[in-house]
Amino acid sequence: MIQRFIDRLKQLPLREPSLRRPEIVSVLAHHGVEPWFLYAYDEWRSRWHVWRGLLWAIKNVEHGGNVLETGCGCGWNLFWLAANGFGSLTGLDINAAAVVAGNELAQGTGFPVRLRCDNALDPGSLADGPFHLILALNWTYHVPEFELGRFLERYGGLLVPGGVLLLDTIEKSFNAHPNNRYLTSDWGKPEWEMRPSEYLHRFSQGEVREIAASRGYQIEATYSRKGTIPRSLYILRRS
């Protein structure tokens, strides 16, 4: 199934960022960036819950508007948006090394990407706003302190009227998996050696709909994939 998504992505009207992998490897190594961030770059095409939302944004969001990515890492998603016409792109992440590396790569490409080290759950300053588009992809379910209602309320105030927030979640149906309590990379080990799951927060679609509505959002679109780890991607529009 993953290969099918990759093949489909290759046929989509997306311009690829002008990044060279050897340079990425060199910059990330120079700044001591942990290997996961290179993996995220290499596997971008296989992560449907990321590229599907960006494709929607490229087709439906004003390219001249301000964009904010929370939990941006090195900024790969922002590079893709920049390559496809977006002109004002800001990212927040708590990983200082990833932020420094991403900014260096952005300077080399000339992309209008600016990354800042900050806590995306409680950012210190967001004077770059208000924003037409906010991304929260592939990180919120890993953070113990994350609360969906509080998060939507915090960032809703930073969206322009009618602005959009992209959010992916782990479906609550994952709780039915026999190994759902354990780290996925440990599933092949004896149970006593398996560490706790990395997926700390799981929501049903009904729960997301109710919480979003209570914070002034409408669900414009939902994309879901079942699989071993069921996920949903939500396009939330601020009223």
pLDDT per residue as tens, the chain (239 positions): 444 544 554 545 677 788 889 999 999 999 999 999 999 999 888 888 999 999 999 999 989 899 999 999 999 999 999 999 898 999 999 999 999 999 999 998 888 999 999 999 988 877 677 999 999 999 999 999 999 999 999 999 999 999 999 999 999 999 999 999 999 999 999 999 999 999 999 999 999 999 999 999 999 999 999 989 999 999 999 98
d(CA 131, CA 165): 10
Give the per-residue pLDDT at 9.
Answer: 47
Give the per-residue pLDDT at 45.
Answer: 84
Residues in the chain: 239
Cβ neighbours of residue 190 closer than 8 Å, sequence gap 6 or more:
none
Give the per-residue pLDDT at 18.
Answer: 80
d(CA 154, CA 88): 21
This prediction has a pTM of 0.92
Give the per-residue pLDDT at 12.
Answer: 56
Q: Are 96 and 36 in contact (CB under 8 A)?
A: no
**CATH code assigned to 18-238:** 3.40.50.150
Give the per-residue pLDDT at 127.
Answer: 66
d(CA 224, CA 232): 4
Nearest to 177 by CA among 199, 144, 147: 199
**CA 38 to each of CA 28, 42, 80, 226: distance values in angstroms, whole numbers, following the listed order:** 8, 6, 15, 26
| Domain edges within the chain | 18-238
Give the per-residue pLDDT at 239.
Answer: 86
Rg (CA), the chain: 18
